[in-house]
Amino acid sequence: MATPVVLGVTPATGVTGASVTIGGTGFTGATAVNFGSVAAGGFTVNGDNEIVAQVPAPNASGPVHVTVTNPDGTSATGSNDQFAYNVCGVATFNVPTARSGCTTVAAGAGNKMGEKFNMEIDFDSTGPGCVCSCCEYRQFVRGTFTVNGVTKVKMLRNPAGGPPLKLLPRPAAGAASDNFREDGLVTPDPGMNVWYGHRAEPITTDTTDIYQQPDRATGCQYRGNDFPGYAGLPGTTVSIDLDFRGQVIDTCNGNAVVQQIEWTVTCSGTL
């Protein structure tokens, strides 16, 4: 028996739970396979020259060395044994941008008061393990709409699929919950998506929520826009006080938050 030598890992990139084939020598009697300092989720020795291993969850960023241990020792590290976890990388994060400030526009038989803003994000496809499809945008909201002096009940789509949820107010300092809920439409108009940023949304014609075309599932660019506000008849008094949270999450690594920002929209006046 000799100390193992790792000559290659195929594929050399992937996600937690995936299977990879390790090629080399000295694998007979292998007692451990590690990805960096983390033990493989499991492995099968198919002979002296091949092991199939399950990728464990990472505990460090960037490429890691895959090593094999047998009773004679552990393989030396080198360029041939590297594995890169698929990750979400963000190149530019301009959220929110192009903010209009408080504005009023004609809307149906009345007017709408609120603030317009854009969400512009470019994902990294060149860094080690960076895969655009791992990145998704999420938007959350809390706050209040007051109309003619009365706080209005605003409903949001329920991510769990149950009854709609109420928009919650900004909590008091030190409260157990931050009251943010995901921003979504209870009953979207035809052609509109329910959520911001979900790659799985079936509609790709929604100009307020698009990924780089033609493939929403893998595009490396996200562009969205929003106009939170209230529409009503002329003479209606309106006060809007909302907090937003915009996130990019890494769906390849447990929806870890990669980048996040919070901002406030306040607007008041008479329609």
pLDDT in tens, 14-29: 888 899 999 999 999 9
The edge-to-edge listing of strands for the beta sheet with 110-114 is 103-107, 110-114, 229-232
The Cα–Cα gap between 48 and 79 comes to 21
What is the structure's pLDDT at 115? 97
Percent of the chain with pLDDT over 90: 80
Judged on CB neighbours under 10 Å (0-12, 13-18, 19+), 169 is middle
Tokens of 143: 């706050």
Domain finish residue from 29, 50, 85: 85
Mean pLDDT of 152-177: 94
User: For residue 32, is it left (φ>0), alpha (ψ between -120 and 50) or beta?
Assistant: beta
pLDDT for residue 152 is more than 90? yes
**DSSP letter, residue 132:** G
- Split into its structural domains, the chain has a count of 2
63 and 113 belong to one structural domain: no
| Per-residue confidence band for 236, with pLDDT thresholds at 50, 70 and 90 | very high
Verify that 20 and 57 share a domain, yes or no: yes
Domain encompassing residue 10: 5-85
CATH number of the domain residue 49 falls in: 2.60.40.10
Please identify which residue in the block is written with the tokens 């209005």.
152
Which of 69, 85, 101 is at the close of a domain? Answer: 85
What does the pLDDT look like over 89-99, one tens digit per residue?
999 999 999 99
Same domain for 73 and 97?
Answer: no
Residues 6+ apart with CB under 8 A from 179: 142, 168, 169, 170, 171
Mean pLDDT of 254-259: 92
Q: How far is CA 62 from the centre of its chain?
A: 19
- Could you tell me if 183 and 123 lie in one domain? yes
Whether 121 and 198 map to the same domain: the answer is: yes
Same domain, 204 and 250: yes
Residues 165 and 247 in one domain: yes
Say yes or no: 17 and 132 in one domain. Answer: no
Q: Are residues 214 and 165 in the same domain?
A: yes
Q: Is residue 96 reached through a cis peptide bond, with omega within 30 degrees of 0 on the bond before it?
A: yes
